[in-house]
């Protein structure tokens, strides 16, 4: 068993690019198949062993929505309201992470997930690979189809050992197609690095800007992810995810109907 682990779910954005779908509802609670985006993410989180606590950071506008979800699901997820009420006043992902880490156990490592990233691959496998690099931080990555697509994300150049030797945040001319996902493993010592980054005037918004700063100062590693991935950053991306999960639900129902009935039900 590895070090004690907290999971931090980043859900304090306002989803302005998905308006009107997210005008009065957080992106993470948009429908997806028979559940919501957050329910799907939680299924993956709950499969990770030995998690001490799971903290979801949201803004004040949507905190009530998440508390209602929490009560309906009887979930042990802790809801942390960051106090902001408008997109203009948002703290940003790094400051929200800092608050969640302060609320969690001081000695814990953290697994950080953006609630607008959907990945069908195993979080446990990502965590297992990341812990081999401890105390270095690890970023989940994957290759996109084109360099044009890579321009929308943080881009990681790695050496043969998987160490990120340079990070570009949304570069105009990406050197490769390897992009970072909003899925990070930060061992406990990284907490001090976040504090130093913010104290030096680092921007608290995009985690990729912190990673760019961190890569220049100490080892950071990449782990290639498996499975299907969706970044719910636009209405079209959300529609693609809905279509995919609808197909998966149909396949699951078909498999259930094709299974022989249990002797207890005959």
List, as one string, the DSSP characters of 132-153. TTTTSEEEEEEE-S-HHHHTTS
Query: Which has the closest alpha carbon to 191: 105, 119, 70, 120?
Result: 105
| Contact predicate 156/174, CB 8 Å | no
Between CA 117 and CA 237 the distance in angstroms is 11
In this prediction, residues 36-40 reach a mean pLDDT of: 94
What's the Rg (C-alpha) of the chain? 19
Between CA 148 and CA 259 the distance in angstroms is 45
| Contact predicate 40/33, CB 8 Å | yes
The model's pTM is 0.89
H-helix or E-strand containing 240?
helix 235-258
* pLDDT value at residue 249: 66
* pLDDT value at residue 155: 95
* pLDDT value at residue 157: 94
From the number of C-beta atoms within 10 Å of its C-beta (0-12, 13-18, 19+), residue 109 rates as: buried
H-type alpha helices, 137-234: 147-150, 190-199, 207-215
What lies within 8 Å, CB to CB, of 247 at 6+ separation is none
Ordered by where they begin, the domains of the chain are 5-253 (3.90.550.10)
Residue 86 has pLDDT above 60, yes or no: yes
Residue 185 has pLDDT above 90, yes or no: yes
* pLDDT value at residue 262: 35
Between CA 57 and CA 134 the distance in angstroms is 25
* pLDDT value at residue 139: 96
* pLDDT value at residue 257: 47
In this prediction, residues 151-178 reach a mean pLDDT of: 93
- Among 23-27, 84-88, 113-117, name the one with the lowest average pLDDT: 84-88
Between CA 106 and CA 166 the distance in angstroms is 30
């Amino acid at each position: 068993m590895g070090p004690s682990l907290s999971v931090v779910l980043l859900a304090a954005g306002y989803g302005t690019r998905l308006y009107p779908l997210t005008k009065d509802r957080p992106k993470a609670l948009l429908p997806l198949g028979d559940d919501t985006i957050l329910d799907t993410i939680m299924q993956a989180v709950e499969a990770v062993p030995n998690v001490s606590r799971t903290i979801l950071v949201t803004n004040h506008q949507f905190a009530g929505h998440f508390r209602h979800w929490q009560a309906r699901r009887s979930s042990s997820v802790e809801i942390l309201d960051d106090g902001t009420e408008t997109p203009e006043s948002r703290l940003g992902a790094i400051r929200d992470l800092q608050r969640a880490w302060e609320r969690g156990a001081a000695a814990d490592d953290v697994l950080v997930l953006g609630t607008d990233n959907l990945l069908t691959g195993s979080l446990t496998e990502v965590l297992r690979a990341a812990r081999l690099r401890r105390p270095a931080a690890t970023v989940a990555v994957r290759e996109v189809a084109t360099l044009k697509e890579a321009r929308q994300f943080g881009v990681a150049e790695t050496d043969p050992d998987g160490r990120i030797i340079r990070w570009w945040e949304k570069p105009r001319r990406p050197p490769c197609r390897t992009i970072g996902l909003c899925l990070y493993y930060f061992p406990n010592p990284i907490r001090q690095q976040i504090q130093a980054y913010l104290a030096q005037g680092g921007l608290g918004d995009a985690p990729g800007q912190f990673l760019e700063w961190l890569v220049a100062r100490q080892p950071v590693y990449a782990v290639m992810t498996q499975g299907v991935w969706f970044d719910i950053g636009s209405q079209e991306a959300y529609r693609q995810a809905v279509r995919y999960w609808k197909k998966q639900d149909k396949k699951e129902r078909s498999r259930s109907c094709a299974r022989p009935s249990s002797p207890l039900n005959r």
